[in-house]
Amino acid sequence: LIHSMGGGTGSGLGTFVLKLLEDEFPEVCRIVTSVYPTAEDDVITSPYNSILAMKELTEHADCVLPVDNKSLVDIVGKIQHMSNTGKPGCTIKKDCTIISGQGGVVKVEKPFDAMNNIVANLLLNIT
């Protein structure tokens, strides 16, 4: 399960789905990647939603991989900077799965796509 902890839908519905999965498939290991909001989040209820959702995660998840939203933004910025510079040792191939989900198709990528690719690669590399 991959969900946001700050938003009402991600934290509320995400943890509800996690509980349903535990009820339906109690013998299956539930690995959860939770994206936590930044301190500068514009949603005033983000800390409250995160705290309530963490209680549900402790009860229904077997493994939680917390991801900080600000860190994802920083990583995307560094990857874009490294892919645009021509310095030796600081380049990333244009068709790299970290920066593109299109397998080499050159186009402008939205920051959320790159952030989702990082989280997806995290899960692919541990499973």
Question: Residue 79: which CATH number?
Answer: 3.40.50.1440
Domain, as residue range, for 103: 2-126
pLDDT > 90 fraction of the chain, expressed in percent and rounded? 30
Range 71-97 average pLDDT = 72
Cα separation, 43 vs 40, in Å, equals 9
13-63 tens-digit pLDDT: 999 999 999 999 999 999 999 999 888 888 888 888 898 899 999 999 999
Total domain count, the chain: 1
Reference 33, options 1, 58, 80, 72; nearest CA is 1
